[in-house]
Amino acid sequence: MSLVTATVGYAESWWIQILKSLIIFIVGFSMVPLALMMDRKLMGRFQNRFGPNRVGPFGALQPMADIFKLLVKEEFRPRTATGFLFALAPAISILTACVAFAIVPFGNTVDIFGTQVGLYGIDPSIGVLFAFAFSAIAVYGLMLGGWASGSKYSFLGAMRSAAQLISYEVSMGLSLVGVIITCGTLSLTEIVGHQESAGMWLFIPQFVGFVVFMVAAFAETSRPPFDLPEADAELVAGYNTEYGGGRFALYYAAEYFHMVIASGIAVTMFFGGWLLPFGIDPPTWVDPIVVLVKITLVIAIFVWVRATLPRLRYDQLMSLGWKVLLPLATANALVTAILVTVLD
């Protein structure tokens, strides 16, 4: 009898784990308004205007105002909605996002007052597969939400979302295979460790993989130019058409959370996690800050691309995913595998 299990890299005592998860939860949820604000402010700058600048200094309190507005609004529910699932779906969305954020490492194991603590939520041996597993479950959030709303627009949006997310999941997974082959491990901390010992961040040798990953990440987080799930001009708002108030806020937060997670994984896999370039070796307490800054920069790339590219047609989206990204990712994985075998 064999049981498929994953080992956890380093397990602390239970109270450290609870503390850690709380801190990571808080950090993650602080990144969401930050991402939201960056999205709006940078988007404005890219269009020669200021973004929101009325609420608070430089409009910094705008996300709070938005969230407050959403929370005090009526929780509308259509008569055709399937009650239980309608309420559950946004929760699934945000929960999976929170869980997936746990694997983004903010630093290696450090010594805090004589206790060994890993600066990450969890470091399972399956590493990045953990994130993929949860982003696959996140599709249920969208699909159930769209279906349980009992509305045509929601349903169409949900169908689109599901098709898009599942299609791009494949290329996203394959694009990281190159990295995994190069490092010989799935664990995210060990991947960063490999980049440290190799002295080179992986986006240079794995450039194709990086590009494919980024494109797939845009699609996975349904950011423009792949925002077909909520293509405002075609569908009313996609799967969350019938949602309002707090549940909509959950969906909205989950979307930005996914962006933060995708950035976190990109930073870890391709941009050396907590490492600084040119062999600068800062004290350990700088590591999380480095990761956060890098995540912010990758989010800026997300916004930049949003400001640049128009939305794809649905068939273009599908053909890009299956005919371009998937072969590219496969070729990248193959070439990497061959090179790694030959050079060894």
Partner 1 sequence: MSTLEIRRWAPTGDTVIAVQRGPEPGGAGGLYRAFGETLRGLKTTFGRLVEGTYVYQYPEEKIPVYPRFRGRHKLHRFEDTGLEKCVGCSLCAAACPADCIRVVAAENTPEQRVSAGERYAAVYEINLSRCIFCGYCEVACPFDAITMGHDFELSDYNRDDLIFTKEMLLAEPLERTPLRTEDE
| By CB under 8 A, residue 144 contacts partner 1 | no
Which candidate, 73, 262, 298, places its Cα nearest to that of 176? 262
Region class of 100: left (phi > 0), else alpha (psi between -120 and 50), else beta:
alpha
Q: How far apart are CA 265 and CA 2, in angstroms?
A: 31
Token match 């896999």: residue? 269
Region class of 110: left (phi > 0), else alpha (psi between -120 and 50), else beta:
beta
**In terms of CB distance, is 285 or 304 closer to partner 1?**
304
The CB-of-84 to partner 1 minimum distance in angstroms stands at: 43
Only one of the segments 40-48, 108-116, 241-249, 256-264 lies at the binding site for partner 1 (rule: CB under 8 A); that segment is 40-48
Say if residue 225 is preceded by a cis peptide, omega within 30 of 0. yes
Q: How far apart are CA 153 and CA 219, in angstroms?
A: 20
| By CB under 8 A, residue 335 contacts partner 1 | no
Only one of the segments 71-79, 243-251, 291-299, 305-313 lies at the binding site for partner 1 (rule: CB under 8 A); that segment is 305-313
| By CB under 8 A, residue 307 contacts partner 1 | yes
**Could you tell me how many residues of this chain bind partner 1 (CB under 8 A)?**
15
| By CB under 8 A, residue 308 contacts partner 1 | yes
Work out which of 2, 48, 197, 341 binds partner 1, going by CB under 8 A: 48
Work out which of 95, 305, 318, 340 binds partner 1, going by CB under 8 A: 305
| By CB under 8 A, residue 137 contacts partner 1 | no
**In terms of CB distance, is 95 or 301 closer to partner 1?**
301
**In terms of CB distance, is 158 or 325 closer to partner 1?**
325
The CB-of-301 to partner 1 minimum distance in angstroms stands at: 9
**In terms of CB distance, is 50 or 76 closer to partner 1?**
50
The CB-of-222 to partner 1 minimum distance in angstroms stands at: 19
Only one of the segments 41-49, 198-206, 243-251, 263-271 lies at the binding site for partner 1 (rule: CB under 8 A); that segment is 41-49
Q: How far apart are CA 331 and CA 208, in angstroms?
A: 9
**Which token pair is 209?**
């993989």
Only one of the segments 18-26, 46-54, 86-94, 155-163 lies at the binding site for partner 1 (rule: CB under 8 A); that segment is 46-54
**In terms of CB distance, is 35 or 144 closer to partner 1?**
35
CA distances from 122 to 106, 126, 165, 263, 311 (A): 11, 11, 25, 18, 36
326-343 helix and 207-220 helix, angle to the nearest 10 degrees: 150
Q: How far apart are CA 22 and CA 261, in angstroms?
A: 17
The CB-of-217 to partner 1 minimum distance in angstroms stands at: 15
Site for partner 1 in 168-227 (CB under 8 A): 211
Helix residue spans in the chain (DSSP H): 14-46, 62-72, 83-101, 128-148, 152-183, 188-198, 207-220, 245-270, 287-308, 314-319, 326-343
The CB-of-140 to partner 1 minimum distance in angstroms stands at: 32
Q: How far apart are CA 298 and CA 152, in angstroms?
A: 35
Q: Which residues pair with 116 in a beta bridge?
A: 111
The answer to whether 312 and 227 have CB atoms below 8 angstroms apart is no
Only one of the segments 74-82, 117-125, 181-189, 299-307 lies at the binding site for partner 1 (rule: CB under 8 A); that segment is 299-307
The answer to whether 249 and 32 have CB atoms below 8 angstroms apart is no
Question: Per-residue x/- marks for partner 1, 66-95, CB under 8 A?
Answer: ------------------------------
Coil/strand/helix, residue 109 = strand
Q: Which residues bind partner 1 (CB under 8 A)?
A: 42, 44-50, 211, 304-305, 307-309, 324
